[in-house]
Amino acid sequence: MTIWTRDTTLQQMAESARNSAVTALGIEFTDIGEDYLRGRMPVDHRTVQPFGILHGGASVLFAETLGSVAANRCLRRDDQVAVGLDINANHIRPISSGWVIGTARAVHIGGTTQVWEIKIETETGKTVCVSRLTMAIISRQESARPAG
C-alpha cells in the first residue's frame, strides 16, 4: 500500500528544484516506490571537500532534499507544508568519485511531524551515510510569514 497522498512525477520534482542547491549539486530524482523516494548525486567538483572525498554537508543536503520532497508528498491537507525541524547524519564511508544513491523511507508519518530515514550508498551498495530527518507539518500561511 502506498504512503503517498499526492501524485507527483519525477519530472515535476526536478522542475520544482530548478535554480536551487538541488540543481547546483546535480541531484536527480530517480525512482518513486510504494514507500520510498530515491535519487542520486554526483561525487565531483561540486560535492567534494578539499581532501577529494564527498563533503559531509553535501550528503546532508542530499538527505534533506530527498526527505523533504518525500514528506511533502505525504501531507493530508492541501493547506499544509512539511519543513525541516531537525537532521542528523552519520558519515560511514568516504567516496571520491562516481555517484551516491539515496533512499528516503518514512519512520513516522503523523499529523504534526514526520520522521524519515535516508540511506546514502555507493553505486555498488556500500553505505556512505545514514541520516534521520524530522519534519514539522505547518500551515502554508505560517510558512509564508517573514521571520522575526
Q: What is the CATH number of the domain that holds 60?
A: 3.10.129.10
Note whether residue 93 is domain-resident: yes
Residues with Cβ within 8 Å of residue 108, at least 6 apart in sequence: 114, 115
List, as one string, the DSSP characters of 87-126. Answer: EEEEE-----SEEEEEEEEEEEE-SSEEEEEEEEEETTS-
Is this prediction's pTM over 0.85?
yes
Look at residue 18 and tell me if it is in a domain: yes
Q: Report how many domains make up the chain.
A: 1
pLDDT recorded at residue 141: 83
Task: List per-block mean pLDDT (blocks of 10 residues) for the chain, which spans 148 residues.
Answer: 93 93 97 98 98 98 98 95 98 99 99 98 99 97 69
> DSSP assignment, residue 73?
T
Residue 58 resides in a domain: yes
Task: Please give the pLDDT value at position 145.
Answer: 67
List the domain range (segments joined by +) for residue 97.
10-143
Known catalytic residues are: 64
| Residue 81 pLDDT | 97
